[in-house]
Amino acid sequence: MWSFVLKRLLHMIPLLLGVSLLTFLLMSLAPGDYFTALSQNPQISPATIAHLKAQFHLDQPWYVQYFYWFKSILHGDFGYSMAYKIPATSLIVQRLWNTFLLSFLALIIAWGIAIPLGIWAAVRKDSWVDRGCSLVAFVGLSVPDVLLSLLALWFAAASGWFPVGGAQSALYDFMPPAQQFWDRVHHLILPALVLAAADMAGIMRQMRSNLLDTLRAEYVTAARARGLGEGWVIYKHALRNAINPLLTIFGYSLAALLSGAFIVENIMAWPGLGRLTMEAFFAKDSYLVVDCVVMATALLVIGNFIADLLLAWSDPRIRLK
């Protein structure tokens, strides 16, 4: 087990290196940088700009920039955001935490609803429950995140039950801690629900078909023949095997979740990594864009790693490979 963990961890390093190299190369292809706009300003002398450029190594070729960037990363330092004028590390950590919070809550909501629904639909195959769920799931698979977020925004504005975008109210700093917590939760609910809804349909359909496949297996027939109760057969024998392939789906669903979060954050003004990426992109704060992409990839890779661990833990055959 430990060699498996170690192998997977070591595998992550070249991957993240490759991702950072690729993003760096792409950003260096971009015409102009953060200081291009500043150089139009007659109040800033060309010498100042040249000095600032040199400070950020922007006057060097991209591989030299990469080298400097990588060196500071090794020290746990993400550099200095040119656009925000604050250290990028604190910015990234705060935004990463927000994205993690949003995705994690969405994950819990999506799996918490989709798994029982999938089981229910499979056990009552061809009943109205099953048909209804299948129909809703099919429609749900086709609703784009963009539309769902806009509808949620419209709902928040029309009903007034939820704040329209943002992560906290204007008066957040003046609230007592309990109210602050509630304020955060209140802002989090709607984006998380939207993100979860986009993910739910796929998981439900997968759970249903997995369980149906397992229920057709011979050991299930054998268990029934031995006179075990139907509940025992389904939950003790079939379900445990049907859950396994879902752990693989978990990895894929994370990728979709992070891309979904990108859209939800940008539309519903949730200050996460996706929104920061767009802000940095528009400000041409190229190092910050690279930081964001690398952090998002790290989040995904670590999520996949956890999914693999869960899979190895539940299925010994994988551990041996």
Map the footprint of other proteins across residues 154-183, applying CB under 8 A.
Answer: 154, 156-158, 164-165
**259 and 103 in contact (C-beta within 8 Å)?**
no
80 DSSP β-pair partners: 87
Report the candidate in 304, 315, 250, 261 with the shortest Cα–Cα distance to residue 115. 250
Q: Which residue's CB is nearer to other proteins, number 1 or number 25?
A: 25
Q: Which residue's CB is nearer to other proteins, number 22 or number 52?
A: 22
**59 and 53 in contact (C-beta within 8 Å)?**
yes
Work out the end-to-end distance of the chain between its first and last CA atoms, rounded to an integer number of angstroms: 11
Taking contact as CB under 8 A, which single stretch among the options 90-98, 167-175, 208-216, 258-266 is the one that binds other proteins? 258-266
Q: At what angle do helices 177-215 and 88-123 cross, to 10 degrees?
A: 40
Asked if 44 touches other proteins (CB under 8 A), the answer is no
**76 and 89 in contact (C-beta within 8 Å)?**
yes
Q: Which residue's CB is nearer to other proteins, number 109 or number 296?
A: 296
| Burial of 85 from C-beta contacts in 10 A (0-12 / 13-18 / 19+) | exposed
Q: Which residue's CB is nearer to other proteins, number 211 or number 301?
A: 301
Asked if 132 touches other proteins (CB under 8 A), the answer is no
Asked if 190 touches other proteins (CB under 8 A), the answer is no
Asked if 262 touches other proteins (CB under 8 A), the answer is yes
- Summarize as ranges the residues that interact with other proteins (CB under 8 A): 15, 18-19, 22-23, 26-27, 29-31, 138-139, 141-147, 150-151, 153-154, 156-158, 164-165, 255, 258-259, 262-263, 266-267, 274, 277-278, 281, 286, 289-290, 292-293, 296-297, 299-301, 304
